[in-house]
Amino acid sequence: MSSPLPLTTGAGAEDFLRVLSEGVELLRGLRRRRAAVPDARRAVAEWSARHPAARVQLVVDVRPGSPVVDYDLLVNHPGGGTVAISTPADDGVPWLIEHSTHWAAGYLLTVDRVHVPVAEVLAMLRTLTRREVAVHDEIVEQCLVHNEVLADDEPVDDEELREAAREIRGAWGLHDRAATLSWLAEMGMSGPQFEAFIAGVARRRRFRRCKEAELAAGYLAAHRPGFDLVRALWATGPRPVDVASLLGLGDPGGLGGLLGYGEARVTLGERRARELPEPLRDAPEGAVVGPVRHGDGHLTGVVLERRPAGDDPATLAEAGAAAFTDWLAARRRAASVEWHWL
C-alpha cells in the first residue's frame, strides 16, 4: 500500500494544521449536555470567525432519550473537500460510526436541515390544539418555531418561566408536586433538564408573542372587515328554515314554528365576522340571509348588529394571533421537510 501524500507545505497548509489542532482542543472542551448546545454553538462561531477560510461547521448529534450530545467539526480542506474532526470522549467510538445503522435513528423528521428527535415530538403531542390542522402539519409548524429560537440566547425572566411552566403542567395534567415528579421519572428527565425544557417553551412563547405584535397592525389593516363585531341569529339543519319561523322565536310559543323541521340548531351570539358561518360574514346590519346551502345542510340567518373593528388592544391581539397562524402556515409550505419513517 502506498504511503499517504503529505499536505503541501506553505501558508495555507500551516493554517490548516493549526485549525485542526485548535479544533481538536475546542471539541474536547465542549460540554456534552443538551442544555449546553447553545454555548457550544457560540464558542464554535467565535472560533470560526478567526479562521474564515476554513468555513467551519459544528454538527450536533442528540442521542435519543439521553441528555448527552456528541459533536463533530467540518472543516474545508485547502486542497478541496471537507475534513471531519471527531473526538469521542468515552469509549473511543465516533458517534457517526456508533449510529451507522441509520443516520436518522432516533429522529422522526428533519425540518429545514434541523433534525427533530422522536422524544421531542412526543413531548409536543400534548400541546397540539388546532383541530382544523392535520397533526403532521402542526408538528412541522411547532418544529419551525423551535428552529426560530435555536440561536436565542436572551435570558428568560421569572414570569416567562412561570407562564411556560403553567402551560406544560396544564397540557400534561401536572397539577401538584407528586404528579410532576412522577412525570419526570417516566420521561427520564432530571431537574436541570426540566428547567431547560421549560426555558425552551418560554423562548418559543416569547417568539410567538413578538411575532404577533409585529404582524398585528398590518394584518388588521388588510383584513379589517373580518374583525367587525357582529351580533346575529341563525339556524342550521338538514332542511331549510324559513325566516318567519326563525324570527318567531322571540314570541311566546314561537318555538312551535320550528317543531316541524326535525333537527335544527339555533344560535344567537356575538362573533368576529371571520368566525361566523360563511354566508353571514359579509352581510350588513339588518340583512336576512337564506335559506341557503351551508355545509351538509342549510342556513338561515339575520344580522342584528354590526360594529366596525377598531384598533383597540383586544382586536389587535386577535389580529396578531390570526396573522401568526397564516405566517406559520406559509413557512410550513415553504419549508424543507423530510419524515424518517423507520
Mean pLDDT value across the chain: 81
What are 33's strand-pairing partners? 68
**314-to-44, 272, 326 alpha-carbon distances in Å:** 44, 12, 19
Contacts of 341 by beta carbon, 8 Å cutoff, 6+ apart: none
Predicted confidence band of residue 290 (pLDDT cuts 50, 70, 90):
confident
pLDDT digits (tens, 9 = 90+) for 197-246: 888 889 999 999 999 999 999 999 999 999 999 999 999 988 888 888 77
Those residues with Cβ within 8 angstroms of residue 253's Cβ, 6 or more apart along the chain or in another chain: none
Q: What is the pLDDT of residue 305?
A: 95
Contact residues for 193 (Cβ-Cβ < 8 A; gap 6+): 34, 35, 67
How does residue 113 score in pLDDT terms, banded at 50, 70 and 90? confident
- Do 17 and 7 contact (CB within 8 A), yes or no? yes
pTM of the entire structure? 0.62
Question: How many other CB atoms sit within 10 Å of the CB of residue 183?
Answer: 16
By mean pLDDT, which of 169-183, 239-253, 304-318 is the weakest? 239-253
Q: How confident is the model at residue 36 (pLDDT cuts 50, 70, 90)?
A: confident
104-108, 283-287, 297-301: lowest mean pLDDT where?
A: 104-108
Q: What is the pLDDT of residue 12?
A: 63
How far apart are the C-alpha atoms of 330 and 215, rounded to whole Å? 14
Report, as an integer, the average pLDDT of 135-160: 86
Region 286-299: what's the mean pLDDT?
Answer: 91
Burial of 321 (0-12, 13-18, 19+ CB in 10 A): middle
Contact 322, 219 (CB under 8 A): yes
Distance CA 309, CA 228 (A): 4
Order of strands across the sheet with 82-86? 57-62, 69-76, 82-86
Rounded to an integer, what distance in angstroms lies between the CA atom of residue 106 and that of residue 62? 9
Phi, psi for residue 111 in degrees, rounded to 5: -120, 115
Query: In the predicted model, is pLDDT for residue 318 greater than 50?
Result: yes
Is the pLDDT at 334 greater than 80? The verdict is yes
Q: pLDDT at position 257, please? A: 59
Q: Is residue 228 within 8 Å of 318, Cβ to Cβ?
A: no
Percent of the chain with pLDDT over 90: 27
pLDDT more than 70, % of the chain? 81
More confident site: 102 or 148: 148
Q: What is the per-residue pLDDT for 5?
A: 37
Give pLDDT, residue 187: 72
Smallest Cα–Cα separation from 230: which of 312, 311, 291, 287? 287
- Cβ 116 vs Cβ 60: under 8 Å: no
DSSP string, 96-158: HHHTTT-TTTTEEEEETTEEEEHHHHHHHHTT---TTS-HHHHHHHHHHHHHHTTT--SPPPH
Cβ neighbors of 16 (< 8 A, separation 6 or more) are 7, 54, 75, 77, 78
What's the pLDDT tens digit per position in 251-282?
Answer: 445 544 566 667 888 899 999 999 999 999 99
